[in-house]
Amino acid sequence: MDRRRASLRIRGKVQGVFYRESARTEALRLGLTGWVRNLSDGSVEAVAEGAPESIEAFITWCRRGPTQARVSDVERADEEARGEFTTFTVERSS
């Protein structure tokens, strides 16, 4: 099975609006593994692995986010999946 990895940096009003937990719920719904966390500059970082079409659906969701979020930009870097995750988690802020 073809698996991909996307590293994302999401900017805008994305902290304090349940972005991380909503992203975790969406990633699990799509069958993705990885993590999401807040960064000290107010952005959110995520790493997701899974089927290419699920990765694309997740990125589309990240551009919108939960209802109260206001996403201004999503940067992405694509790689081969490493297979290091077993589920999708919310990590502590860095």
Tell me the catalytic residues.
20, 38
Residue 13 has a CB neighbour count (10 Å cut-off) of 14
In angstroms, the Cα distances linking 44 to 4, 21, 51, 72, 87 are 20, 12, 22, 12, 18
